[in-house]
Chains A and B, each alone.
Chain A
Amino acid sequence: MWSGILLGLAVYALFGLVPAVANTVVSFTDYALYPGAPVNFTGWSNYTSMLTSERPGFMQALVATVVFVTAVTLAQNVIALAVAHRLVGDTRWNGLLRVLVFLPIVLGVTIVGLVWILIFEPGQGPAASLWGLFGAQSSFFGSDTLAMPLVIIVQVWQNIGFSALVFLGGLNAISPEIYQAAEIDGVGRWRRLSQITFPLLAPAVTVNVLLAVVGSFTTYNLIYVLTEGQHGTMTLGMLSFTAAFTDSNLGYGAALGTVLFLMTFIVAIPLMMFLRHREARLLA
């Protein structure tokens, strides 16, 4: 019995906990990818150099991250709520639609990214033909103005199924009797939505908002597939990855990763407290 636990915990510690902690350690070194290069502790220099012109790109990445996180969180939750609202009820069509909405999650980031690259292919893609109808032209993921909005759209498209299912769970948990009672009392549709559905959905909102915030802060795999961080889509996560594995500077990449983690933490914890507080207020 003990051997089973220890084996499991050893794997978990070695490849789960240790790397998470070691990231901070690496961030204080000049660890480089080149074989044989010596590793030195360099103190805070990886952190202080972020703000100087020695390593440009940090401030842009910060702005890009804030834009990405805000837009994804808002769009994902609003649209997912609308979709979930439509999918309440166990009809055959709803079952089919739920599967469709969930499909992008199963297909995964790579397939989804490549599908949208084909859709927004500047020469022959359907988006280009549509654009052409208005006499416009764009290189889409290669455009400085459109790349970011498109990456946001694809990220939302990819993850909406997840949020919608959480909302659906929340909506299903609301007992139909409440609605019936409200209907008998002559409560209108809009007021039913704002005074019954929204308050009772508060726990699902908490889960979904937190998931979207944490998820979009840390994600970069989709950005890697779509743009590799070009054309204004270099978020902090992507910058950390690029610094480490393209520019061979593991120490600086780790420092950026630590900053990202702390930022996520600083945003997520008060947000969680606020949402929990809101739940208590609405459900009281």
Chain B
Amino acid sequence: MTATSIRPASRPTSTPKRRQTALLRRRRFWARLVTGLLIAVVFLAPVLYVAMIAFEAPAHFLRSPMTPPASADLSNFSQAWTGADLARELVNTVIYSVAASALSTVLALLIAFPLARRLVRGHRQLYTLLVIGLFLPLAYIPLFIEARILDLYNNMPGYIILHVGFGPSLPLGVVLIYAFVLAVPAELDEAAWLDGTGYLTYLLRVVVPLTRPALLITFLYGMLQVWNDIIGPVVLLAGTSANLFPVTRGIYNFYGLNESAYTIFAAAVVIASLPLVILFAGTQRQLIRAAVAGSVKG
């Protein structure tokens, strides 16, 4: 759908062969336009529909849900905001996903660096042990029992710690960072040893800047996993007076309670997804790369 694919058609065509290629290109152009639009509609239309009805007054929605409202009605948003306790749940979600993913990124670095440098005995076996983690099933039942025993059930620190260790984020981070550490010249290590630089200082000052893409991908991937988790909050949190639910569970419950208030519910969905959309817009390059790198997960 680039400009170059249109240009030949507007150029004077003298020979029949040229005319034929021009025709072929024009047909190709239309085929690409139609398929491109089809993809855009299939993936955008459902999301746009929800965004649209979020701005419809309930009366308008009942009359003609498919037509855009004449004037945007913001009352759905304010009702969703107060009705679903969204502010609280968004803050919870941010705390859970940022804290858990930051911790798992740090731990992944602490494991990956010595393994990649072969500083410890059995580094190969340890690496294999971590790769296995990429394929482990999410075992919620024992995790739930563990959470009850270790007093990690239904509290904020517990929810964070449980999310650091389970799921493929930590092993995936190790694999990614490991590959990046291999690209950091070992001479830098030796120079630092001679200077008497401490281990952690060295990691922070030298290794972190040089492995930044891997660290960022690990962090973003882990964050997305925690943010979008719906089973975790069902299993590991109970609905108590202090609302500990992340926003996924919050809007899911909100749906159950307000099954006919579709416009308000749509507004809640829009509010809950807005941070993700903004984050995605800012980091889509890294994320798409992370998706390819994390293909092991699925």
Given contacts A14-B165, A99-B284, A126-B66, contact A26 B142 (CB under 8 A): yes
- CB contact list, B276-293 vs A, under 8 A: 276-277, 279-280, 284, 287-288, 291-292
Residues facing A in B135-186 (CB within 8 A) are: 135-146, 161-162, 164-166, 170-171
Residues of B contacting A224 in the complex (Cβ-Cβ under 8 angstroms): 230-231, 234
**Cross-chain contact A15 with B235 (CB below 8 angstroms):** no
Interface residues on A, range: 35 or more
Q: Does A162 contact B (CB under 8 A)?
A: yes
Q: Assess the A253–B280 pair: CB atoms within 8 A.
A: no
Instruction: Report Cα–Cα, A11/B248, bound state, in Å.
Output: 25
User: Is A2 an interface residue when CB atoms closer than 8 A count as contact?
Assistant: yes
Residues of B contacting A87 in the complex (Cβ-Cβ under 8 angstroms) = 39
Interface contact B39-A83, CB-CB below 8 Å: yes
Interface contact A214-B298, CB-CB below 8 Å = yes
A17-25, A50-58, A143-151, A179-187: which lies at the interface: A17-25
Q: Is B22 part of the contact surface with A, judged by Cβ < 8 Å?
A: no
- Per the bound structure, the CA–CA distance linking A244 and B235 in Å amounts to 10
A9 interface contact, C-beta 8 A: yes
B99 interfacial by beta-carbon distance below 8 Å: no
Q: How large is the interface on B (under 10, 10 to 19, 20 to 34, 35 or more residues)?
A: 35 or more
* CB proximity of A273 to chain B, nearest CB, Å: 16
| Pair B136/A16 contact, Cβ less than 8 Å | yes
Given contacts A108-B276, A207-B295, whether A117 and B107 have CB atoms under 8 Å apart is no
Which of B's residues lie within 8 Å of A, judged by CB? 1-2, 32, 35-36, 39-40, 42-44, 46-47, 49-50, 53, 61-62, 65-66, 107-108, 110-111, 114-115, 119-120, 126, 129-130, 132-133, 135-146, 161-162, 164-166, 170-171, 199, 224, 227-228, 230-231, 234-235, 248-249, 251-252, 255, 262, 265-266, 269, 272-273, 276-277, 279-280, 284, 287-288, 291-292, 295-298
CB-based closest 10 A-B pairs: A15-B165, A108-B228, A4-B110, A215-B298, A22-B142, A211-B298, A8-B107, A19-B139, A19-B142, A110-B248
- Which residues of B have CB within 8 Å of A280? none
A254 touches B141 (CB 8 A): yes
Question: Are A5 and B235 in contact (CB-based, < 8 A)?
Answer: no
Partner of A106, one of B107, B129, B276: B276
- Cα distance A119–B44 in the bound complex, in angstroms: 13
Docked pose: A254 CA to B42 CA in angstroms = 38
Contacts of A136 in B (CB 8 A): none
Min CB distance A180 to B, Å, is 16
Contacts of B132 in A (CB 8 A): 17
Which secondary structure dominates where chain B touches chain A? helix
Contact (Cβ within 8 A) B61 A23 = no
Q: Is the CB of B165 within 8 A of A20?
A: no
Q: Which residues of A contact B2 (CB under 8 A)?
A: 91
What are the residues of chain A within 8 A of B287 when measuring CB–CB? Answer: 102, 106
> A87 CB to closest chain B CB, in angstroms?
8
Determine if A37 is an interface residue (Cβ-Cβ < 8 Å). Answer: no
Looking at the assembled complex, report how far the CB atom of B247 sits from the nearest CB atom of chain A, in whole angstroms: 8
For window 100-115 of A, CB contacts with B under 8 Å fall at: 100-111, 114-115
B39 to chain A, nearest CB (A): 5
**Residues of A with C-beta under 8 A to B62:** 124
- The residue from A9, A106, A125, A261 contacting B137, defined by CB atoms under 8 A apart: A261
